[in-house]
């Protein structure tokens, strides 16, 4: 079962094509902000590593701003989606309506915002490079109690490799994405929580 904490605490590593160490460079906050702002749609497979070490797999769909969808493969019967400013967590083992929470209370909102600006005061708490990648840790500067998101990028071209979200009590979850493809058309209906509730008979 995908819990609120495992979702809000997580959403991890995006694995795309590798850049060679010779090409690596430390990316600026402006470069990373620009990369995220041009990433309008993307989809691919993912493996989620939960805080307790268990694994889940499925398909991810991203449509910025403000929309993301995680379809989990069996035996997991969960669906997590964000749209209309809310996050909804569906549990196929329950007849109850999905748990719903404000998207702006999760660190994920940082990369789903319409205009990502990592240069804002108090947003970035870490900005380092290990010679092959750039790691940026960011938080909501107005609500640091919601946790943070750690993103790892490679350069030439800029690509998001990983993000690890730490929740308000220190729990972490990672999601590794496979064959993530940016661009393409993804219908808004896939992020409509009320429509999805009807599909689930709720």
Of 138, 85, 141, nearest in space to 114 by CA: 85
The pLDDT value given to residue 4: 53
pLDDT per residue as tens digits for the range 108-164 = 999 999 999 999 999 999 999 998 999 999 999 999 999 999 998 889 888 888 888
pLDDT of residue 8: 54
- Which positions ≥6 away from 34 have C-beta within 8 Å? none
Kindly list the domain boundaries of the chain, sorted by start residue: 4-199
Q: Is the pLDDT of residue 193 over 80?
A: yes
Query: Superfamily assignment of 4-199 in CATH?
Result: Lipoprotein localisation LolA/LolB/LppX (2.50.20.10)
Confidence of residue 14 (pLDDT cuts 50, 70, 90): very low
Name which of 180, 131, 120, 170 is nearest 150 in CA terms: 170
Instruction: Output the pTM of the full model.
Output: 0.84
Q: What is the tens place of the pLDDT at every residue in 55-112?
A: 999 999 999 999 999 999 999 989 999 999 999 999 988 888 999 999 999 999 999 9
DSSP assigned state of 16: -
State residue 1's pLDDT score.
52
Average pLDDT, the chain: 87
> Over 50: is that where the pLDDT of 21 sits?
no
Q: What distance in Å separates the CA atoms of residue 94 and residue 73, rounded to the nearest whole number?
A: 17
| Residue 16 confidence (pLDDT) | 41
């Amino acid at each position: 079962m995908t819990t609120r904490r495992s979702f809000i605490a997580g959403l991890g590593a995006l694995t795309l094509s590798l850049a060679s160490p010779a090409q690596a460079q430390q990316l600026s906050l402006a470069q990373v902000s620009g990369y995220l702002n041009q990433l309008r749609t993307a989809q691919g497979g993912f493996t989620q590593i939960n805080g307790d070490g268990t694994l889940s797999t499925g398909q991810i769909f991203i449509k910025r701003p403000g929309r993301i969808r995680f379809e989990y493969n069996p035996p997991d019967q969960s669906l997590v989606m964000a749209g209309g400013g809310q996050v909804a967590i569906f549990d196929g083992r329950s007849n109850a309506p999905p748990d719903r929470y404000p998207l702006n209370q999760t660190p994920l909102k940082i990369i789903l915002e319409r205009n990502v600006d990592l240069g804002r005061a108090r947003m970035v708490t870490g900005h380092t490079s290990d010679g092959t990648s750039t790691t940026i840790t960011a938080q909501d500067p107005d609500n640091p109690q919601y946790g943070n998101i750690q993103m790892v990028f490679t350069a030439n071209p800029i690509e998001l490799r990983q993000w690890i979200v730490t929740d308000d009590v220190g729990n972490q979850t990672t999601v590794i994405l496979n064959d993530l493809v940016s661009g393409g058309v993804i219908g808004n209906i896939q992020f409509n929580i009320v429509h999805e509730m009807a599909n689930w008979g709720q």
